[in-house]
Amino acid sequence: MVLTVLGVDSALLGLAAVLAAVVVAPPLSALSRRLIPVPLPVVEIALGMVIGPAALGLVEPGGLPATVGRMGLAAIIFIAGYELEYRAISRTQLRWASAGWVLSLVLAVLAGIGVVVAADAGGLQVRGDGGSSLVTAGVFAGIALTSTALSTAMPSMRDAGELTTPFGRAMIAAGTVGQLAPLLALSVVFGGRHVWWSVLALALFTGLVLVSLRIASRGLPAAARRLVTATMHTSGHFAVRLVVFAVALLTAVSVDVFDLDMLVGAFAAGVLVRQLVSNVDPVDRELTERKFQGLAFGFLTPLFFVSTGVAFDLRGLLAQPLALALVPVFLVVMFVARGLPGSFVLPWRAPARDRVAAMFWTSVGLAVIVAVVDIAVSSGVLSSVLGSAMVGAGMVSMLTFPTAALAVRRRATADRA
């Protein structure tokens, strides 16, 4: 529907409102630190609710902001893959992180099915219009709740100086698995083909990535390195264009050729590009990273979170007490089903407070939850109300879990001093 406000097309007004939310979010997040620190993604989602159908109604779900926002999610996952220091992760940590996530999957899927069935029995519409079963809806919910928002939790860990500690490296291992594994599970279980083909396709894609990694480890050819340096301060920006092309290529291959989720390709692109630019001059490499991060975090990623807020069914959530009650239920499921197995990556003799801190860190979830919910709601598997309850739980985890993790970890460090 097209409305006219002072002669301005509503689509243009909506785009202006979205961009205004993107601009206003950082100062609002900075101001919130005087009272209660609110992570920037939560502020962006909240502003999306304000300008969306839940409040002012300036923007409708979908459209250009949502499309570009999907690119923002890919940028988040790309940076997570790019920043992954896999050499710092031991095989033992990776094995325990993977085993912990498998247990998380079992617990979260069982909990998800139980919550969905109970909510349906209570009269809440939990399924979308796609004709899915309650079990399918529960499995979708369970997969989403096994995620770890490593890319959004890492800034807090970096500020606390945790990334270089043994504890921090263990959290990186658990977070890497917790961020990537749900996307792989989603691609396998709910791909457009049979499960056996999805598993085969995933294995083939993994093999392709490993071969590409072997080749990329040699770095860029000398001519390409010279081009990176020559265009670094011109309008050419060859390195940035190379990064964008790698993301587009790997996401297209993962979706169109292997029928996997686009975010799997984005993560693989991050790992590959990290190897590819390993022999580039450090100054040029740092400038390239800053430029791409500026594009990602300054424009693409905010659009993703704002468009998520626009699509957030706040009215439906507030109108149904049962739906609102599911927010803390999902939060508990995340902390227990994801956090407890996620803490297995620590040594068995780790102090109890370190294990509790690990539970908080590994159960922080938002970006992947939003991605899974977006797929589930758009495909008619989950209702928008149930999806909003899950996203709401992810927002609360972003607001509270990192702060709790840092507090528990500081107490544990003080006890050892």
pLDDT tens, residue by residue, 187-240: 777 655 566 777 787 788 888 888 887 887 788 888 888 888 888 887 778 888
- The band of 331, judged by pLDDT with boundaries at 50, 70 and 90, is very high
User: Which pTM does this prediction carry?
Assistant: 0.81
Reference 405, options 342, 324, 319; nearest CA is: 342
Residue ranges per domain, the chain?
Answer: 66-416
Mean pLDDT of 33-42: 79
C-beta of residue 151 within 8 angstroms of C-beta of residue 411: no
Highest mean pLDDT among 66-70, 108-112, 145-149, 243-247: 108-112
Give pLDDT tens digits for 175-186: 888 888 888 887
Residue 55 CB neighbours (<10 A): 14
Whole-number pLDDT of residue 86: 65
What is the per-residue pLDDT across 279-320, written as a single tens digit (0 to 9) for each? Answer: 888 888 888 888 888 888 888 888 888 888 888 878 888 888
Instruction: Report whether 149 contacts 180 (CB < 8 A).
Output: no
Length of the chain in residues, anyone?
A: 417
Say which CATH topology domain 66-416 has.
Answer: Na+/H+ antiporter like fold (1.20.1530)
Q: State residue 111's pLDDT score.
A: 93
Q: Which helix (H) or strand (E) holds 4?
A: strand 4-5
Please state, in angstroms and rounded to a whole number, the distance separating the CA atoms of residues 221 and 243: 16
E-strand spans in 172-226?
Answer: none
